[in-house]
Amino acid sequence: MKSILVLEQEHENISKIIDLMKNKSIEFINNKDINVEFVELLIFILKEYADKFHHRKEEEILFNKMQEDLGRIGEVMILNGMLVEHEIARGIIFDLNQSINDYKNEKSDENFVEVIGNLMGYKRHLQKHIEKENTVVYPYGKNNLSEERLEEVEEETIKFLEENKELHDDLMLKIEELFNL
């Protein structure tokens, strides 16, 4: 299914970004200084790509149908599982944003360690989340949704990608930029 392949491809892109977050955190610790420009662009990408482009697509298309059609298991898996985890990810981005602003105002050890903690917290959280989706949630949806529902997932995903092509290309450029900071 193209729609699932697209989601998995996005996971690969996000995984590269979170690996970079770890490497950059090590660099910041060694330098005893945080590259604020990097963290600010990172926050933009996590909000616009990982959250709005990827999580929103999951929520509005595949997860929406799983939650409606797959009974109690679908409900628990999506509502109590994946959607809660998306909210936690949003919370960590909020905290990261707050901590980098504090660091900009005062380069104290405390503000430094808060930024590093949020970077690593997001990395750990998203890594586990992606693993669950790749190995449990997507296969469960693919194997249990009706042909008709899967067809809707395909159509809606293709429509979303066509409508957001410009945004997608722009975000890819921003990600490239992030790797060069």
In the complex with Fe ion, the residue whose CB is nearer, 114 or 133, is 133
In the complex with Fe ion, the residue whose CB is nearer, 89 or 178, is 89
Cβ–Cβ < 8 Å for 70, 82: no
Number of residues in contact with Fe ion, rule: CB under 5 A?
2
Tokens of residue 114, six digits: 């808060």
Burial class of residue 66 (count of CB atoms within 10 Å of its CB; 0-12, 13-18, 19+): buried
Query: What residues numbered 48-77 form the site for Fe ion, per CB under 5 A?
Result: 58
Q: Least distance from C-beta 88 to Fe ion, angstroms? A: 11
Q: Least distance from C-beta 4 to Fe ion, angstroms? A: 11
In the complex with Fe ion, the residue whose CB is nearer, 58 or 114, is 58
Burial class of residue 169 (count of CB atoms within 10 Å of its CB; 0-12, 13-18, 19+): exposed
133 binds Fe ion (CB under 5 A): yes
Distance CA 137, CA 121 (A): 22
In the complex with Fe ion, the residue whose CB is nearer, 4 or 100, is 4
Q: Which residues bind Fe ion (CB under 5 A)?
A: 58, 133
